[in-house]
Structure formats: C-alpha cells, structure tokens
Structure 1
Amino acid sequence: MEEFPVGGLDKKVEKISKLIDVIWLDTQFKIVALFEIECTTAIHSGLLRMGDFVANVKLNPLTFIDPNFPIYIVIPKKRKMHLQTQLSRPIFQYLELHKSCKGIYIEDIERGWETIIKQEIDPNIIDSIAYRF
C-alpha cells in the first residue's frame, strides 16, 4: 500500500508501521493483528517497532484504533528463550507487550501450511498454532 489506511497515526509511527512485516486489516481497515517474522534478524528490533506502534495507539486517542489487537512473533523454536528474554525487558513489560504477544514457530507454519491455506483465514487459525508466554 502506498499509504497506511488507518488515520490519526503520528507521522513517525506511520513510517515505523511500514517496517512491520505484516499488519493484518479487516475489510473496514480495523487492525486484526501485527506480525514480525524474526527468523534471523534481531528480535528486539521487531518488538521495538511494534512497541512504538502500540504506544502511539494507546497514547493518542485520535487514532481511533482499538489497542487490543494481538501481536505475533514468528520465530524458529531454537529462538524461544531469546524471545522470552526480550519480552522481559523493562520497556516491553511497561508497554505490556508480554500480555498481547504470542509466538508462532516457523516450523509449525511449515508443517501445517497445507491445512492453514485451505481454511478461511481468520484469527482462530493463527491462535491454533500460536503459544503464550
């Protein structure tokens, strides 16, 4: 998309939102979920981008965005402890990202891909392979 279709975001945050791997919107442009795929890159940078986005939504009532959307981090299983360590950092605890963030193992997506794409895409499919910390 050329422009982010959700109004009211600070220009800096709108710029950051373009760096988030996936922002899932419904047909009314309501945010369904945010995704970062962190198979080889630094986990904290993806969390910071999403943290900036979430903080702007919570601090700026003019965004008209419900701040209760889930956040998903897609990682290889071997990076689970690193993700947990990052989520325990004070800034992410303050923003309560640990409450809205779920992990998805890339191996589970690869293993269940055929099943996932045959179903109607909705958040329940994602939650069936996601885990909470």
Structure 2
Amino acid sequence: MIVFWIIGLLFLVIGLIFSLPTFIKIFKYKGHTTGKIVRIDSTDQNARAVYEYAAAGSKYTNKTNWTSNCMFQVGKKCHVFYDKQNPNHSYIRMSGQYIRCFVGTIFAILGLVVLFSGIFLNRVL
C-alpha cells in the first residue's frame, strides 16, 4: 500500500509544481495589450520567442518558455497578458500556458486517485 501512497504523492507534487504557478499567472495577469515578436532564441531542438509590448506607459521585453515547436514568427503581433501591479511580468497567448495547466492538473488528479486508492486498499485489506 505504501507504493500507492508514494506514487500518488509524486504525481500530486509534480502536478502542482507544473500547474499552480501557471494558474496563478492566468488568474492574476488581467492586463492585456498587443505586442510584437522581436526575435526567436533557439537551440538545436528548442526555441522561444522574445516579445515587446507597452503597458502603463513603458515598454517591456519578455520571453516565452522553451518549446520544441516554435509557432511564432518575427515581426508578427501577439496578444500579451500582464500583471497590472507589475507590468514586467507577462505571458503571451499560444505560449503553452494552458497546456501546462492541463497537464499539471491531470497529473495532480491522477496523484489524488492513486493516493486515495492506496488509502482505500489499506482499509479494506
């Protein structure tokens, strides 16, 4: 039964690590504006977009997370969500934020199911 608890806790912790910071971003970053992709940083297998945007009277530059399939093109406009209290903190639509939340939530739910299965089996057996 302890194997269920360990696996359940691991999945739960990994799910929360992936999804919680992203959920906070999505719910906290209520400001939005239009930005522009200024360059693409890339390695052999990964890429990330560097984008500029104006918010609260200032110009900011930020980066997306690394991804294996960069769908951004230099010079194209992008929709930027930013924190109104700290406009330097932002993310852009289509940068994998929602996928990260989804995958993290699935891991957390699986972790809870396995954890509760272990607790249930411990009581039954």
TM-score (norm 1): 0.22
Higher normalized strand content (fraction of residues): 2
Q: Tell which has more relative contact order, 1 or 2 (C-alpha 8 A, sep 6+).
A: 2
Larger radius of gyration: 2
Higher normalized helix content (fraction of residues): 1
